[in-house]
Amino acid sequence: MTSTIVIPAYNEEKTLPALLRDIAAQRGADPQVVVADAESTDRTREIARSRGATVVEGGLPAAGRNSGARDADTDILIFLDADVRIPKRFVRTVCDAMEGRDLVAATCPMKPLSRLSTDRVIHNFANLFVRLTQYSDPNAPGYCIAIRRDVFERIGGFDESLKVAEDHDLVKRAAKHGAFRVVPDTHVRVDVRRFEKEGRVGYSLKAIKVSLHRALVGEIREDDDVVDYEFGDYSEDSPKGAMRALRRLEKAMLKLDSKTTDVDEAIVDQGTRAVDAAVENTIAALRNAWDILMNQSDLSRRDSDRSESDRPAR
């Protein structure tokens, strides 16, 4: 299957080169690359073109991704953020999974570009959430979404009226046309600058708030004052009040974390594998229970139909 990688970008001259090197080094796949640039004031466009990428006009992430997708003519669209890193067989693994498992959309586990166990724990919880919801209420981070182009076009691409969570909304709509799944055989490594800008606690609380609002109220649109969002602005901010206290607490926690990282890395990795195994077993058990329930329901329905047919006519 042919593929195009679409990268929305704004002032990404520091992070984009590493991702483009990863893409150039892909084995078993030769994806097209489109960078949707939101009027960067640095060398983002120059860097993209010098490495063979097509540059199109971008905007906010949803608009940028849609713009990049319009330039593609391949079977699969893969949306990545400019600050992620991918392994050498990433594209081949994703495309093989989509073809072999007949998926319309997919994502994969994420790992932080950080050695702090705190960051690994946060990403492990995020991975767990995505894996547990993949069958019923699909969610996928925008920095790693693969989707069949025909399905993307059929559902109208990303909803540009949404303020946040346009990525989750996309795969939820795509899943109405086929299967969405997590591809466990590969991963993306994610920059933690989002954490450094908003704080780990602040970012996590925002994610929870967005999830609850989507579940209980609905999607968050541009005119909704639920959360703040800035695209590509990773300058230092100035937290106030309670958030400043949370930042102080977080700094103390990370200082302790950095001192214990080397010692506990093996323990965390072992715990991650144990959690992964437990999640897989839980999902398998839930699917098995669902199949049994459906079979029993079919049997009950047939018995009921048989009883109705055996009943003497009045």
Q: The domain that contains 218 carries what CATH number?
A: 3.90.550.10
User: Does 306 reside within a domain?
Assistant: no
Q: What Rg, from alpha-carbon coordinates, does the chain have?
A: 22
List the beta strands (DSSP E) in the chain: 3-9, 32-37, 54-57, 76-80, 84-85, 103-107, 110-112, 144-148, 179-182, 188-190
Averaged pLDDT, 175-194: 95
User: Does 69 reside within a domain?
Assistant: yes
Position 5 pLDDT exceeds 70: yes
pLDDT of residue 198: 80
pLDDT of residue 81: 96
Higher local confidence (pLDDT), 209 or 314: 209
What band does 247 get if pLDDT is binned at 50, 70 and 90? low
Averaged pLDDT, 288-292: 64
Position 101 pLDDT exceeds 90: yes
pLDDT of residue 110: 95
What band does 227 get if pLDDT is binned at 50, 70 and 90? confident
User: Does 275 reside within a domain?
Assistant: yes
User: Does 145 reside within a domain?
Assistant: yes
User: Does 308 reside within a domain?
Assistant: no
pLDDT digit string, tens, across residues 272-287:
566 566 656 666 666 6
Q: The domain containing residue 275 runs over which residues?
A: 3-291
For 110, the 3-state DSSP assignment is strand
pLDDT of residue 223: 82
User: Does 161 reside within a domain?
Assistant: yes
pLDDT of residue 314: 46
CA 160 to chain centre: 17
Domain total for the chain?
Answer: 1
Asked whether the beta carbons of 187 and 197 are under 8 A apart, the reply is no
Q: What is the pTM of this model?
A: 0.77
Position 196 pLDDT exceeds 90: no
User: Does 314 reside within a domain?
Assistant: no
Position 313 pLDDT exceeds 70: no
